[in-house]
Amino acid sequence: MPLTGKRTPLVIILGPTGVGKTELALQLAGRLNGEIIGADSRQVYRYLDIGTAKPTPEQRAQIPHHLIDFVEPDYNLSLAEYQDLAYQTIDDIHQREKLPFLVGGSGQYITAVEEGWSIPRVPPNRDLRSELESFVAQNSAEALHDELRQVDPVSAERIHPNNTRRVIRALEVQRLTGRAISDLQRKSPPPYRVLTLGLRLDRAQLYPRVDQRVDKMIAAGFVDEVRQLLRMGFDRSLPSLSGLGYLEIAAHLLDELSLDQAIERAKFSTHEFIRRQDVWFRGHDNGILWHNVEQLDRSELVQFLVEWLDA
């Protein structure tokens, strides 16, 4: 359907890990002449395929995918870079008269694009980060979070104390600019007409589902995938390898953690991540249309999208 001349439409599909976003996106994009833009902070990395549940080569051949599998695991892709690339990709898809679908579970990626965050262009400072990481090792993540609370209470309220990477980033920006990152993160929504679809499933159903997915990843060669990444020289301390399962499997390969223990921890980490995703999406709900994935009528949803595009 021709989209030229209309305000740029953008369909967002979000929800917790393992709920079925990829499957729905493929169906909708196939019916509506769409292309998919990944919004997953780990699927951007090459070689991280099994553990990130990256769309398969067959799925990517079926529907064009963007911002997936395009940077090395030792490259620190910033939120600002992702946001810029997402805007460029959305505009390119629209100019080719196709419908962009932004799909993923990384709430910060999605919200930064949808709300038009003005992200501080402050490059990482390795020495400062090392200093702050040492502080955490000698004290605690909670102690570092307390320091952030003193200089930027707004960010401290938004960032969980255990999310050390984001706490360090907020302190890094504050120390290097003298201003709180929350002050610098102004919003200027992009000129898109946005429809946000949220997929949900009761946790009593979702947790067993993601547990089975972890088991399938192991059967598909997840351990060998992590072993190969380590052999290639990628350190487990890299942000790319902090993703669900990767730290636990690395501990199995490098420490004395049994595979059964690693699998159990990976499942627990996934449950915890799902809870954090829920908190993020509830705190940044700009009109999400939520659907229970098991009760969703795909044909009705396609018709709803057709009418939304024509409105």
How sure is the predictor about 145, in pLDDT bands with cuts at 50, 70 and 90?
very high
* Angle of CA points 55, 57, 63, to nearest 5°: 70
Q: What is the mean pLDDT of the chain?
A: 94
pLDDT tens, 225-280?
999 999 999 999 999 999 999 999 999 999 989 999 999 999 999 999 999 999 99
Q: Which domains does the chain have, with CATH numbers?
A: 8-118+189-203+277-310 (3.40.50.300), 126-184 (1.10.20.140), 220-275 (no CATH)
Alpha helices by DSSP H, 18-66: 21-31, 57-62
pTM for this entry: 0.85
How sure is the predictor about 1, in pLDDT bands with cuts at 50, 70 and 90?
very low
Question: 9: closest CA among 90, 65, 109?
Answer: 90
pLDDT for residue 47 is more than 90? yes
Q: Which residues pair with 45 in a beta bridge?
A: 71
End-to-end CA distance of the chain: 13
